[in-house]
Chains A and B, each alone.
Chain A
Amino acid sequence: MKKVLLVLLVVAMVSSFFVGCKPKPQPVTLTIWHSWSGAELDVLNEAITEYQNQHPEITINQLQVPFDQLQNKYQTEAAAGGGPDILVGPADWIGNFAKANLIASLDSYFDAAFLADYVPGAIEQVKFNGSMMAFPESTECVALIYNKSLVQNLPKDTNELVTLVDSITQGDTYGFVYNSGFYFTAGYFFASGMKLFDSNNNAIVNQGDGGVKTLTFLKNLASDPKFIVANDYGKADSLFKEGKAAMIINGPWAVGDYVKALGDKVGVAPMPVFAETGNPFAPFVNTKDFFVNANINDTQKKAAADFIKFMVSKDVEQKFFEKAKHIPSNVKVDTSSDPIIGGFLEQMKTGVPMPIIPEMGAVWDPMQTAIDSVLASKATPQDAINTAETTIQDKINASRGQ
């Protein structure tokens, strides 16, 4: 008995010498900022829990920031030397962030074999001056989202759309809650031939009559009492979920919640063709990406890149696809069974890639002001588009230090 005890004791003592030898992983904390909500947020939280179970030394904190504040919040914090390790945002932020040196190049973390599994167009979009500045999680564009119990035959062009909406709107049910935000309605600006930049990245939005045509079209919609035309995402969103809006314009990120609210009544299709020119709706096609903060050290960057690899793996993207209807950037995700995704993919065929140059940041607010001032009868379409052009160019000049 004594001998057994002695042997046990010796074994215990000897083995204790080796405790320090096994490489013990250093604890790492990663912070991620995003604007995901609803079903997307659920998937993110599931993924984080799973990743932490696989890697007990890693803690991941996520913070949800409203989308309209996320870019400025990150820009201010990162420019001052802080900010999260990982940011989730659209590709058009790349230009400004890269120029201000706020995001890290990811070239060294993803090799060609890894990238082979991803949609080439998505990988191409996140390249700035030849470097990969973000990693695409999903691709997105806006399309027509409709309630099948209210819309039987889809309108082919904008003239049919007006007739259809006039017949649906009754009481507190609206045929179309039209989001007049520039991002949502840009497809008709491009359908009428408007261009944003020339080859030197200077603004040319008032060249040709594309801008005027679309602004006139929007004004006609707004003067029809059967349409709600408002730059109000929340209103369109909640009316559609309540089944009070037959049609809205929105992107794949919202569809997960709509399916939860309305089940299989939700349909997605390309927006009607712009009747005046006969061209299809040409929305911005964009990727939603993971950015890595330029301020963090190499160990943190490595950990962030590893987490991003997990987030864009087949399994996690499959969940994002099934629950939140994200259109995956990973080609291995099985999307065959879903007609909703089909609607967005159909719409993407006529889309235009979102420019990621820094100058893009100057476009949004002036174009929105042009739309708002025409809808409010404060300016004629021609004056509004001229003012927009001047303001965009002033902003571009200011950001170039001129």
Chain B
Amino acid sequence: MIDKSDIGMWEKLRRHRLAYYYILPSAIVMALITAFPILYQIWMSFTNFNITNLRNPHPDFVGLGNFIKIFTNKVPLENFNFWRIFAFDVFWTFSNVFLHVTIGISLAVALNTPRLALKKFYRTLLVIPWAVPSYISALIWKNMFDVDFGAVNQILSNILNMTVKIPWLTNPNAPIKIFPFLSYAFYADLITNVWLGFPFMMVVATGALQSIPHEIFEAAEIDGVNERGKFFKITLPLIRSAMLPAIMLGIVWTFNQFNVIYLVSGGGPLGTTEILVTQAYKIVNPGGLYGVASAFGLIVFFILLAITLITNRITRATE
């Protein structure tokens, strides 16, 4: 027997015809500005599309050639190494998010102290990095990291009372030997992005902290729990459900943090701080390899899809 909920698609369309008329204009716009470019890019990724094909879009079909070039590091570009960039991007993401979360929660807990003087003032001050457009902050940090005239080296010189010339953005070697793949510029990028990123985590943590009733802490105090125990047994478990989505968001944001990398270190020196999105940009500009860049974009898409699926699974597990 045919169940009533099992009616055919055309029947459904017919019954809700008016609704489809309503969404038709926006559906057409979406098809033009979203669906078409995506499909066009997928087509481009299988061709040797280059600058001359922009007006004469008849490039040669190269099959999986672009993907093979990327995975075997045969893209004709300086310092191109897909696997190194991918590994660096993962390391970049997790080191950043770890620092964002620990600094954010610490500050939130500190500012949540009852009867703290000037609490509102501190909170405003700490949210400023988040309020300034990130490309402006990034450009200011870039200048502060100049080896001869940057504020960072000058302040360090004054504090240590000696000439400090850390080649933040120019030396591709590793200052810390146990991480041989992290150049000085990585630490410059990291400092900038931590400064930019912790306020978000702090705001989320503050919101979650304020929803914890004081009675719980008072009860714990009566039971003789010390401060450390209160933090790990009460605070952390109770803000966990608020922090997890924020952390997942932070992972995706940092993985694609174009502004900081591109403006502070420019992916350099010698490509040591390149992440996937900045490399994708450079394949087109100045590389001019549109076909390879499309394939690269698809690869980044699948990596992010995987991250999102894992994210969804973890967050659902916490519900």
Binding site for B on A (CB under 8 A): 71-72, 75-76, 79-81, 96, 99-101, 228, 230, 235, 365-366, 368-369, 372-373, 376-378, 391, 394-395, 397-399, 401
Q: Are B170 and A230 in contact (CB under 8 A)?
A: yes
Contacts of A99 in B (CB 8 A): 52
Q: Identify the closest chain B residue to A398 (Cβ).
A: B76
Using A391-B78, A394-B76, A395-B76 as known contacts, say yes or no to A376 and B172 having CB atoms under 8 A apart.
yes
Considering the chains assembled together, what is the distance between the CA atoms of A41 and B55 in angstroms?
33
Per DSSP, chain A at the interface is helix
Within 8 A of A (CB), among B59-112: 60, 74, 76-79
Q: Are A365 and B55 in contact (CB under 8 A)?
A: no
B134 at the interface (CB under 8 A from A): no
Extra contacts, 7 of them, besides A96-B51, A369-B270, A391-B77 (Cβ < 8 A), are: A79-B51, A101-B55, A365-B286, A376-B270, A394-B74, A399-B50, A399-B288
Please name 17 pairs of A and B residues whose Cβ atoms are closer than 8 Å in the assembled complex, sorted by A.
Answer: A76-B54, A76-B285, A79-B52, A79-B54, A100-B51, A101-B52, A230-B170, A235-B148, A235-B149, A369-B79, A373-B270, A376-B173, A378-B172, A378-B270, A391-B76, A391-B78, A401-B50
Partner of B173, one of A366, A378, A391, A399: A378
Q: Are A372 and B52 in contact (CB under 8 A)?
A: no
Contacts of A372 in B (CB 8 A): 172, 268-270
Q: Are A75 and B51 in contact (CB under 8 A)?
A: yes
Binding site for A on B (CB under 8 A): 48, 50-52, 54-55, 60, 74, 76-79, 146, 148-149, 170-173, 268-270, 285-286, 288-289
CB distance from A387 to the nearest CB of B (A): 8
Contacts of B285 in A (CB 8 A): 72, 76
Q: Identify the closest chain A residue to B183 (Cβ).
A: A376
CB distance from A317 to the nearest CB of B (A): 31
Top 7 A-B pairs ranked by shortest CB distance? A394-B76, A79-B54, A369-B78, A395-B76, A398-B76, A100-B52, A376-B172
Q: Which of A96, A99, A399 has the most CB of B within 10 A?
A: A399
CB distance from A216 to the nearest CB of B (A): 19
Considering the chains assembled together, what is the distance between the CA atoms of A377 and B167 in angstroms?
13
Contacts of B79 in A (CB 8 A): 369
Q: Are A365 and B78 in contact (CB under 8 A)?
A: yes
Q: Identify the closest chain B residue to A79 (Cβ).
A: B54
Q: Identify the closest chain B residue to A80 (Cβ).
A: B54
CB distance from A76 to the nearest CB of B (A): 7
Contacts of A80 in B (CB 8 A): 54-55
Contacts of B171 in A (CB 8 A): 376
Contacts of A366 in B (CB 8 A): 78
Q: Identify the closest chain B residue to A369 (Cβ).
A: B78
Contacts of A373 in B (CB 8 A): 172, 270
Q: Are A398 and B289 in contact (CB under 8 A)?
A: yes
Q: Identify the closest chain A residue to B52 (Cβ).
A: A100
CB distance from B124 to the nearest CB of A (A): 35
CB distance from A396 to the nearest CB of B (A): 9
Considering the chains assembled together, what is the distance between the CA atoms of A395 and B52 in angstroms?
15
Contacts of A394 in B (CB 8 A): 74, 76
CB distance from A384 to the nearest CB of B (A): 10
Contacts of B270 in A (CB 8 A): 369, 372-373, 376, 378
Using A365-B286, A373-B172, A378-B173 as known contacts, say yes or no to A79 and B55 having CB atoms under 8 A apart.
yes
Considering the chains assembled together, what is the distance between the CA atoms of A398 and B286 in angstroms?
14
Considering the chains assembled together, what is the distance between the CA atoms of A366 and B52 in angstroms?
22
Considering the chains assembled together, what is the distance between the CA atoms of A365 and B76 in angstroms?
11
Contacts of A228 in B (CB 8 A): 148
Contacts of A378 in B (CB 8 A): 172-173, 270
Considering the chains assembled together, what is the distance between the CA atoms of A397 and B69 in angstroms?
14
Contacts of B50 in A (CB 8 A): 398-399, 401
Q: Are B76 and A81 in contact (CB under 8 A)?
A: no
Q: Which of B77, B78, B171 has the most CB of A within 10 A?
A: B78
Q: Identify the closest chain A residue to B172 (Cβ).
A: A376
